Amino acid sequence: MSQRIVFMGTPEFSVSALKSLVNSNHKVLAVYSQPANKAHRGQKIIPSSVELFAKKCSLHLRTPVTLDNDEEYDFLKSLKPDIVIVIAYGKIIPKRFFNLAKYGFINVHASLLPKWRGAAPIQRSIMNLDNQTGISIMKIVEELDAGPVMHQDKIEINEKIDTLTLSKVLSKLGANSILNAINKIEKGEARFKEQNHSEATYAKKISKEEGRINWNQSAKKVLAKINGLNPNPGAWFQYKNERFKVWKAEIVNKNSDAGKILDNHLTIACDEQSIKILEIQKEGKSRQLTDQFLLGNKIKYGESII
């Protein structure tokens, strides 16, 4: 059967699932995304990835500042959707909307709930040195990411993966799983299980200041921050009143005083072991491989950056 779908999502992470729905036998009635925002130094208005894809496919697009008004309520009600699929939409859905879809509002969340509810589950999972993550398909309720779960897909992760890479993997995983979930829902085979709320952890939004590297942590924790915050907002350190963003690094089995430069290849000691920076970006400049960077920047062996 073909289901009548309304889709709500904003970033690139959401696009894979929307694409899979467009290419399926289901009918996408409308797409909701956050309004275009000013971004970068020129403050250019940038539409979301979902908005761009929706326009490319000539889908009915809506980008309200808020859903909490009668206009959006009445519009969604008029569509008579079977299911509303929500993936990283980024806006609160009013409780009164939940009954407008025959089978409810279904969310694809990038963690193994009840772990990492909230805005930044992928980043927090990497920064926490988790060895496993995945996606959860759940029914949306009033409390954030607390609804019953019908399906989870698990994957193993390691210290080498960053948020950009993991996001792409989980996005594709979610796109496949949502089609299977819709199939089960329409056949009456979906089983939703309540989460164990006592085990819930929260993935709060990442702040720019949180990106500052603490060299008094172990190299594993420092690398987890570098990978977890790549590409945004980025992990960084300060040296002689200038800020440097670290894009890529690896662990080296060397020990010394935390923050000390151990060689001429930008290996920096941590509390345990050291971090060798492989790719770096000086504030206001382009990102560079470390060898290229060091040709014009002197961060000398033996110095401390703390």
What average pLDDT does range 176-180 have in this prediction?
96
Q: Quick one: pLDDT at residue 41?
A: 59
Q: Quick one: pLDDT at residue 229?
A: 97
Q: Domain check: are 175 and 253 in the same one? A: no
Q: Domain check: are 111 and 240 in the same one? A: no
Q: Quick one: pLDDT at residue 297?
A: 81
**Cα–Cα distance measured from residue 228 to residue 124, given in angstroms and rounded to the nearest whole number:** 7
Q: Domain check: are 245 and 197 in the same one? A: no
Q: Quick one: pLDDT at residue 183?
A: 95
For 152, the 3-state DSSP assignment is strand
Q: Quick one: pLDDT at residue 44?
A: 81
For residue 129, the domain's CATH number is 3.40.50.170
- The string of pLDDT tens digits covering residues 238-256 is 999 999 999 999 999 999 9
Cβ(82)–Cβ(101) below 8 Å: yes
Q: Domain check: are 125 and 235 in the same one? A: no
Q: Quick one: pLDDT at residue 53?
A: 98
- Rounded to the nearest 5 degrees, what angle is found at the Cα of 202, between the Cα atoms of 201 and 204? 160
Q: Domain check: are 130 and 258 in the same one? A: no
Mean pLDDT for all residues in the chain: 95
Asked if residue 125 is part of any domain, the answer here is yes
Asked if residue 306 is part of any domain, the answer here is no
Q: What share of the chain in percent tops pLDDT 70?
A: 98
Q: Domain check: are 86 and 198 in the same one? A: yes
The last residue of a domain, from among 203, 224, 249:
203
In angstroms, the Cα distances linking 60 to 81, 178, 244, 253, 262 are 14, 21, 43, 55, 57
pLDDT at 39 over 80: no
Q: Domain check: are 107 and 21 in the same one? A: yes
Angle of helix 49-56 versus helix 12-22 axis, rounded to 10: 30
- pTM across the whole model: 0.94
Structural domain for 63, as ranges: 4-203
Q: Which residue has the higher pLDDT, 76 or 301?
A: 76
Asked if residue 143 is part of any domain, the answer here is yes
Q: Which residue has the higher pLDDT, 106 or 296?
A: 106
The last residue of a domain, from among 203, 237, 252:
203
The length of the chain is: 306
Q: Domain check: are 235 and 275 in the same one? A: yes
Amino acid making up residue 92:
I
What average pLDDT does range 82-103 have in this prediction?
97
| 134 Rama sector, left if φ>0, alpha if ψ -120 to 50, beta otherwise | left
Asked if residue 305 is part of any domain, the answer here is no
Bridge partners for 302 per DSSP: none
Q: Domain check: are 129 and 275 in the same one? A: no
Asked if residue 177 is part of any domain, the answer here is yes
- The string of pLDDT tens digits covering residues 189-232 is 999 999 999 999 999 999 988 999 999 999 999 999 999 999 99
Sign of the C-alpha dihedral computed for residues 229, 230, 234 and 239 taken in this order: positive
Cis? peptide before 81, omega within 30° of 0? no
For residue 273, the domain's CATH number is 3.10.25.10
Asked if residue 304 is part of any domain, the answer here is no
**Cα–Cα distance measured from residue 242 to residue 117, given in angstroms and rounded to the nearest whole number:** 35
The last residue of a domain, from among 133, 168, 203:
203
**Cα–Cα distance measured from residue 277 to residue 227, given in angstroms and rounded to the nearest whole number:** 12
Asked if residue 112 is part of any domain, the answer here is yes
pLDDT-based confidence at residue 42 (cuts at 50, 70, 90): low
Determine which of 59-63, 100-104, 180-184, 298-302 has the lowest per-residue pLDDT on average. Answer: 298-302
pLDDT at 260 over 70: yes
pLDDT-based confidence at residue 81 (cuts at 50, 70, 90): very high
Cβ(281)–Cβ(245) below 8 Å: yes
What average pLDDT does range 98-119 have in this prediction?
97
Asked if residue 213 is part of any domain, the answer here is yes
Domains held by the chain: number = 2
**Cα–Cα distance measured from residue 277 to residue 250, given in angstroms and rounded to the nearest whole number:** 7
Q: Domain check: are 92 and 213 in the same one? A: no
Q: Domain check: are 194 and 214 in the same one? A: no
Q: What is the DSSP letter of 270?
A: -
Alpha helices, DSSP H, located in the chain: 12-22, 49-56, 70-79, 121-127, 163-187, 219-228, 290-296
Q: Domain check: are 135 and 173 in the same one? A: yes
Contacts from 130-135 at CB under 8 Å and sequence distance 24+?
Answer: 130/157, 131/156, 131/157, 131/158, 132/156, 132/157, 133/157, 133/166, 133/170, 134/170, 134/173, 135/108, 135/109, 135/110, 135/111, 135/170, 135/173, 135/174, 135/177
Q: What is the phi/psi pair of residue 230, to 5°?
A: -100, 115
Q: Quick one: pLDDT at residue 40?
A: 60
Q: Quick one: pLDDT at residue 298?
A: 80
Cis? peptide before 64, omega within 30° of 0? no
- The string of pLDDT tens digits covering residues 49-74 is 999 999 999 999 999 999 999 999 99
**Cα–Cα distance measured from residue 51 to residue 118, given in angstroms and rounded to the nearest whole number:** 23
Alpha helices, DSSP H, located in 94-162: 121-127
**Cα–Cα distance measured from residue 115 to residue 25, given in angstroms and rounded to the nearest whole number:** 33
- The string of pLDDT tens digits covering residues 119-155 is 999 999 999 999 999 999 999 999 999 999 999 999 9
